Amino acid sequence: MDPTHAHRPIEIAFEAARDHADPEGSLRLDLIVEPPSGRTLRLPAYRVDGRRWAARYASGEIGRHTYVSACSDRSDAGLHGVEGTVEVEPYTGDNPLYAHGPLRISSSGRHFEHDDRTPFFWLGDTWWMGLCRRLRWPEEFAELAEDRRRKGYTVVQIVAGLYPDMGAFDERGANEAGFPWEEDWRRIRPEYFDMADRRIERLVATGIVPCIVGAWGYYLSWLGHRKMQQHWRYLIARWAAYPVVWCVAGEANLPWYLAPGFPYDDRPAVTGWTEIAGYVRQLDPYRRPLSIHPTGLGRLSARGSIDDQGLLDFDMLQTGHGDRDSLGPTVDTLRWSYQAEPRMPVLNSEVTYEGILGRCHDDVQRLMFWTSILNGACGHTYGANGIWQMNGTETPYGASPHGGTYGPTPWREAMTLPGSMQLAWARRLLERYRWWEMEPLPDTADYAEGLIARDDWHRPHAARIGDDLRIIYAPQAHRLRLRGLEGATWRATAWEPANGAEAHLGPIDATDGCAELSRPFTPDVLQPEQDWLLILERA
């Protein structure tokens, strides 16, 4: 009997009785598990090396779980018909991913929650190339993970070896064991994933959810449908037992950068990735939350990058890196998705990386976070130029396939950019309240008469939590005029998103349902856009 704790993966090993030609291509090994509840799960297994295979299992059900292996070659007694039991005991540690369980979608369809229904706020960071050796294991990977844990980040977006911004088998994408596939795409290389395992396990041990991106979109045309299914089967076998989230592909509707006519919205690729998404949905026994990452063409959302929205659990957006010019597409796309059917949580998974091309600084990070949250997002994903591509001090990433570069900022310097801390403060502020009940409250706040916003999207954005709380974000330091306060007395608090400072403004009498308030903080001449936040609590 193999013991484990609730929600913690356990590995069950098998050894083939004889050698098989092309074992990953010719054999299929599954583990059929029956937990105490009686609901049978079928888990794909993966080849470790030589004759060795393994399956990973995790469950929140306490008690005895029985299993039997099922191999496509029923004559191999080492792989087929092997029986055993797993004893799952209560988890007593403090890792929230085990204490509360993996993620799922809430019954409201608006946010994520843990298996025990504890609300989960998505504050993501972007490490697209985080499994490569340019972020050295273990010391550098651990340093970056600990910085994000300490600040309060809860998710890391990371690609499973088939990276963006490079061609296949580019040395910049290798880890300590090389590449995830042999160079002719003949077979998967388990030794690559042995090293990748360590990084995924470190994120989970740190309390951070890995959002695993299976491949960048253009790899589907290189691997083909059958090989991409094989790739995804391997990822599910390795990592589905962990508290992960799936992203089927990155920029699913964008072709290879050097394709004739690039860029364009690649609809045949969308159809192909829709089929892969259906395969992932059918194969994953745990039904981990699933989405797909779009490009900055078309609808800018996962809903527009898949032929069957019913395969999605949540909507991921990508709304550009155009500094403040990206605000309009961000707000418009988010509002559209929030109102769309089927209902699902929505968040921006890529927007205005801090420092990219020398712009998109911390003021823009705050702008994108607060306007997204107050218009219905269930969280937000941050990104810093230098981290997503893992620039080294002596080894910057270098040129993209098109010949340009996004900037040489080393990852360790990018780790300390102020926007990452300011979004962490924002999460802490929101978690004082029932943020998961927040609803957009449009057209209830504006600048006072005579004060003009930079544009329509730079006007104040507001949301409410029930009838007792209002949160208003003002992108500019103008005096606010509020409406719809329902003739009540409110306690007003101003909050400065750039440094977390608070100022209590006292009670506000809104007997006519309206009020006007000014930003109370000392102007900062170094901040051209003096944003501020107003919180009203019913007295």
Same domain for 12 and 59? yes
pLDDT at 1: 63
- Judging by beta carbons within 10 Å of its beta carbon (0-12, 13-18, 19+), is residue 276 exposed, middle or buried? buried
| Residue range of the domain that includes 74 | 2-89
Domain assignment present for residue 98? The answer is no
Domain assignment present for residue 99? The answer is no
Q: What is the pLDDT of residues 494-516, one digit of tens each?
A: 999 999 999 999 898 888 889 99
Q: Among 385, 412, 432, where does a domain finish?
A: 432
Same domain for 395 and 448? no
Same domain for 346 and 492? no
Domain assignment present for residue 110? The answer is no
pLDDT at 145: 98
Write down the pTM of the prediction.
0.97
Q: How far apart are alpha carbons 505 and 494 in whole angstroms? A: 7
Domain assignment present for residue 100? The answer is no
Same domain for 69 and 131? no
Q: Among 432, 466, 485, where does a domain finish?
A: 432
Q: How far apart are alpha carbons 488 and 238 in whole angstroms? A: 55
Q: Are 64 and 36 in contact (CB under 8 A)?
A: yes
CATH of the domain at 530: 2.60.40
Side-chain-side CA neighbours of 353 within 13 Å: the count stands at 22
Same domain for 371 and 452? no
Same domain for 37 and 162? no
pLDDT at 525: 64
CATH of the domain at 272: 3.20.20.80
Same domain for 228 and 266? yes
Residues of the chain with pLDDT under 70: 1, 525-526, 528
Q: Among 398, 432, 466, where does a domain finish?
A: 432
Domain assignment present for residue 447? The answer is yes
Residues 6+ positions from 404 with CB-CB distance below 8 Å: none
Q: What is the pLDDT of residues 161-182, one digit of tens each?
A: 999 999 999 999 999 999 999 9
With b for 16 or more beta-carbon neighbours within 10 A and e for fewer, the 388-409 pattern comes to bbbbbeeebbeeeeeeeebbeb
Q: Characterize the bridge pairing of strands 63-71 and 29-34.
A: antiparallel
Domain assignment present for residue 95? The answer is no
Domain assignment present for residue 102? The answer is no
Domain assignment present for residue 287? The answer is yes
Residues 6+ positions from 535 with CB-CB distance below 8 Å: 469, 470, 471, 472, 492, 493, 494, 495
Residue 498's CB: how many other CB atoms inside 10 A?
A: 20
Same domain for 422 and 467? no
For residue 495, the Cα-to-chain-centroid distance in whole angstroms is 27
Q: How many domains does the chain have?
A: 3
Tokens 């130029």 belong to which residue? 385
The tokens for 412 are: 């360790």
Same domain for 514 and 424? no
Same domain for 132 and 79? no
Same domain for 37 and 128? no
Same domain for 246 and 323? yes
CATH of the domain at 61: 2.60.40.10
